[in-house]
Amino acid sequence: MHDLAFVGFLVALIAAGFRKPFLFILVYVYIDVVSPQRLSYFLLNAVPISLIAVVLAVAGWAIADDKRDVRVAPRQFLILLLLIYCWLTTLGADFPKEALDKWDWVWKALAFAIFLPLTLRTKLRIEALLAFMIVAASTIIIVGGIKTLASGGGYGELNLMVTNNSGLYEGSTISAVAIAIIPIILWFPRFGTIFAPDWRVKTFCYALAFACLLIPIGTSTRTGLLCIALLALLTLRDVKRRLLYVTALGVIGLAAVPLLPNTFTDRMSTIKTYQADESASTRLAVWKWTIDFAKQNPFGGGFEAYRQNHIRYDTVKIEGQGPQQTVDKTLEVDSARAYHSAYFEMLGEQGYPGLALWLAINLIGIFRMEVLRRRYGRAEGDEAWIAPLASALQHGHIIYLLGAAFIAIAFQPFVYMLIGAQIGLDTYLARKRRESAWRPITPRLKSGRLKSGRLKSGKPAAAA
């Protein structure tokens, strides 16, 4: 019965896609985010549903979609360059077999990010994409929120439907993504059109935002706490009563502290004593190794290059207070430790050129959303939704970049969908501006045709 529910949903969605081919794009988004084949016992595991969805999506666009107003953005070319560069580093990777395993899903994420903006020709499509991304992620987030309320969770203990600790099912990754999508979630109760923003939609969106805030607590991830702090800071840009907002945050924070589980507060306390925390000490040692490795290998070592690292670091524990303090240093030796940072992931695997391309793709996105935010900041009527959406996409992207400093999610497919939505919004608005600026070159007048600034009667056009 469990498998039949998933199969029935996908079959119904694919069947609807034959009437509206854009739905095939949303089918692929759902499969890529939720990975229902991981949740299935047999039926979906036996069929390459991801391949079927992407073939239908590309074929539907190629055959049925109107391509007269398609625009290609510079960032799509940058993603293509990154794709080609990653392919080249994979050919010469230090660990060929392991590199091919990662390349197998990375190229799909990059290729889909290039293709996705070509399909986002209307506001409805942009909104539908974001709605599907949020709903797909919410299948994981809602489960995590409920389990956090029921049990309190714990680092590495919160079961998010599957035991496979990868993709959005990894604790730190889902914590960063959950906080990053809160600004987009809160956009829908104000400007959403697919579902009328009535009390039911508002209730769901606010409850989902609350569930997103619970995920870092349930997973006990320090990355999630930092992302929450950044979200609170970014929100200051848009609120009208900032003093009231800051006061409310302080009151809520103080009231929430006694309610937090001990597993969360104990792990958050290690932020101040990072030298005593093996996880934090390991990260610092790996980052130092990666910098030295890049100096000798400026073009990177290919995917999974971290497997060759050998690190030595000290963990420092301080006991007692004042003059009675004792410092205990312990030398630790380890090897093949992961990067725990998207920035060092790019530096170690793709070298300086890959890191530069990746940074350009992300920073240009933040800059372009700021341009749209300022350009449409005072827009009203049919354009009132634009600036808030650009701001939400920008804030989500900035939160991702903070989370990426502590998680190796440089190629997280969900984030590249977010980038695709940014590009789609940017190109859609560029086309609308071009259309609104168009005017006939030779308008007809009642008394004759305009020619060289004069009418047939010989009088200047301005006088007429």
Q: Is residue 310 part of a domain?
A: yes
Mean pLDDT of 436-462: 49
Q: Which of 314, 335, 356 is the last residue of a domain?
A: 335
Phi, psi of 21 (to 5 degrees): -55, -25
pLDDT band at 452 (very low <50, low <70, confident <90, very high): very low
Q: Are residues 21 and 139 in the same domain?
A: yes
Q: Which of 335, 353, 378 is the last residue of a domain?
A: 335
Tens of pLDDT, residues 184-214: 999 999 999 998 888 999 999 999 999 999 9
Q: Are residues 238 and 293 in the same domain?
A: no
Q: Is residue 454 part of a domain?
A: no
Q: Is residue 464 part of a domain?
A: no
Q: Are residues 132 and 55 in the same domain?
A: yes
pLDDT band at 343 (very low <50, low <70, confident <90, very high): very high
Which pair of tokens denotes residue 442? 């030779």
Write down the pLDDT at residue 324: 56
Q: Are residues 247 and 309 in the same domain?
A: no
Write down the pLDDT at residue 83: 97
Write down the pLDDT at residue 238: 81
Q: Is residue 442 part of a domain?
A: no
Q: Are residues 109 and 89 in the same domain?
A: yes
Q: Are residues 2 and 147 in the same domain?
A: yes
Q: Are residues 389 and 308 in the same domain?
A: no
326: left (phi over 0), alpha (psi -120 to 50) or beta: beta
SS3 label, residue 95: coil
Domain that holds residue 309: 277-335
Q: Are residues 54 and 163 in the same domain?
A: yes
Residue 320 or residue 97, greater confidence? 97
pLDDT band at 325 (very low <50, low <70, confident <90, very high): low
- What does the alpha-carbon distance between residue 120 and residue 191 come to, in Å, rounded to a whole number? 18
Write down the pLDDT at residue 341: 93
Q: Is residue 309 part of a domain?
A: yes
Q: Is residue 448 part of a domain?
A: no
Partners of residue 451 on adjacent β-strands: 454
Residue type, 286: V
Mean pLDDT of 140-166: 75
DSSP string, 306-341: GGG-EEEEEEEEEESSGGG-EEEEEEEEEES----S
The answer, yes or no, to whether residue 73 has pLDDT greater than 80, is: yes
Mean pLDDT of 149-166: 68
Q: Are residues 7 and 92 in the same domain?
A: yes
Write down the pLDDT at residue 288: 92
- pTM score, whole prediction: 0.86
pLDDT band at 446 (very low <50, low <70, confident <90, very high): very low
Q: Is residue 251 part of a domain?
A: yes
The answer, yes or no, to whether residue 306 has pLDDT greater than 50, is: yes
Residue 234 C-alpha from the chain's centroid:
16
Q: Are residues 200 and 295 in the same domain?
A: no
Tens of pLDDT, residues 42-61: 666 667 888 899 999 999 99
Q: Are residues 89 and 137 in the same domain?
A: yes
Write down the pLDDT at residue 398: 97
Q: Are residues 153 and 301 in the same domain?
A: no
- What does the alpha-carbon distance between residue 351 and residue 336 come to, in Å, rounded to a whole number? 18
3-state DSSP of 96-132: HHHHHHHHHHHHHHHHHHHHHHHHCCCHHHHHHHHHH
Q: Is residue 307 part of a domain?
A: yes
Tens of pLDDT, residues 382-402: 899 999 999 999 999 999 999
The answer, yes or no, to whether residue 455 has pLDDT greater than 50, is: no
Residue 267 or residue 194, greater confidence? 194
What's the domain count of the chain? 2
Tens of pLDDT, residues 125-135: 999 999 999 99
Mean of per-residue pLDDT scores for the chain: 84
- What does the alpha-carbon distance between residue 278 and residue 282 come to, in Å, rounded to a whole number? 6
Mean pLDDT of 273-295: 78
The secondary element (H helix, E strand) that includes residue 449 is: strand 448-449
Of 23-32, 233-242, 375-384, 421-430, minimum mean pLDDT range: 233-242
